[in-house]
Amino acid sequence: MSKLIYADIPRVLRSKITLGSILITIFMAAASVLTAVLDAESKGLVFRISTNNLTLFIAMLMPIFSGGVSILIISTEFSSGIIRNKLIMGHSRRSILFAWTIIYSLLTLVTYIISVSAFFITLKLNGCTIPEGNTGTIITNLILIFCFVLKFQAFSLLMLCIYPDAKLAVICYMLNNMTMLLLVFASFSQNSKKIVKALSRIFIYAYTSSDDFSFLTKPDTPWLTALCTLSLAAVYMFLAERYFAKKDLK
């Protein structure tokens, strides 16, 4: 499997799709701060408003970038016959899928780190400070957000293993994301904390008790949210392995 990883990493990194997604996430992270600077009445409010902006951006758009990259790049392997060549060379379907999982999970992590770094750099350049005494809460929220994004990365691989072409995989992936967002927003409109908590364990990473989505909001039972989110990602990967084992590679 290591040979598959080392062979595919340069191709993924050279892809214009990868570069484009990273640049967009950097822009959105910086824009989260710049719009807060314009809206905030004081410097002290910039961090809360900007992290609220960044959180909503990650919840709505980051899954599209993280999952979309893997779908668009891997789909070329199906259409060009690269996967058949890998099988002929003696690699198993399971090792191919696990190699994808490692490569695109690492890519998601790198993109996430770059985006968050761009956010904090923009904060510093604008003279904004992080409120003292909130380091632990901020780090916990950042970890939970990454678990949330990683779950979508796993789901994108499942879509690739189920559907025969990239267009159909992208459509189904996008429809799922839209459905989940509508479900979460609908739960907020019902004003039921129990429903919101249950859904947020999987779909929105633990901001369960208020409309404040900033990094300063203490998450409700973060370990349970991380467990639920990563467990769902594991289910996606199990199903992906089952579907890929039976997939017809024409």
Query: What is the residue range of 166's domain?
Result: 2-246
| The pLDDT value given to residue 187 | 59
Q: At 54, which amino acid appears?
A: L
What pLDDT, in 10s, does the model give residues 188-214? Answer: 555 556 666 666 666 654 454 455 677
The HSE-up count of residue 125 (CA atoms within 13 Å, CB side) is 10
**Greater model confidence, 135 or 167:** 135
* 104 vs 56: CA distance, rounded Å: 23
Average pLDDT, the chain: 81
From the list 104, 96, 48, the residue with the least C-alpha distance to 247 is 96
Taken in order 205, 64, 146, 115, the sign of the CA dihedral is: negative
pTM: 0.86
* 187 vs 200: CA distance, rounded Å: 10
The DSSP letter of residue 61 is T
User: Domain total for the chain?
Assistant: 1
pLDDT above 90 as % of the chain = 17
pLDDT at 235 over 90: yes
Q: Is 103 exposed, middle or buried (0-12, 13-18, 19+ CB in 10 A)?
A: buried
SS3 of residue 192 by DSSP: coil
Dump the DSSP string for 103-133. Answer: HHHHHHHHHHHHHHHHHHHHHHHTT--PPTT
